[in-house]
Amino acid sequence: MATDNVFLSVGVVVALFGMAMIGWHVAQHRRHQEDLDLGSNDQKFFDNQYRRRMQTSALTVTLGALISLCENLPAFKQSPAFATFYVMGLLLLAFWLILLAFSDAVASRVHVSQSLRRNRRARQALHEAVEELRRSQQIDPRPASEMLLTEQFRKQGGNR
């Protein structure tokens, strides 16, 4: 029958996806570990993110393995009650996996928002320092091209 290996096929695909995610997360973690420009807050965030994502990936591999086992368990074929509870357990694991992924997305969103806020504050402080420097040295805030055009206009006899 064509559907004999459906559980095995789906389980293998899910498990392979989980293993690929593990490989991706390990590579990303190494890259973050080697980045000397990261601050302590960013490094802490990426370490926590690595733990969350490895947990999610490992659970994905486990879910794939459990899906693959469905057709190889004699009790799954013989007992509808066992099959029902087994599938309910798989659905609970899948739901937990979705919750883990959602919590990682929320944590990433919060981190990015905080980083953007810090960058805006730093940019504002730099802008204020430049303005203070201009005021203290009485530098014309207009762009150089505008000042050059004004000077050329004055030389030609115009009033600006």
Residue of higher predicted confidence among 157 and 58: 58
What does the pLDDT look like over 42-88, one tens digit per residue? 889 999 999 999 999 999 999 999 999 988 888 888 999 999 999 99
The pLDDT mean for the chain works out to: 87
How many of the other CB atoms lie within 10 Å of CB of 25? 18
pLDDT band at 35 (very low <50, low <70, confident <90, very high): confident
Sequence-distant (6+) residues with CB within 8 A of 103 are: 52
Q: How many CB atoms lie within 10 A of CB 11?
A: 21
pLDDT band for position 140 (cuts 50, 70, 90): low
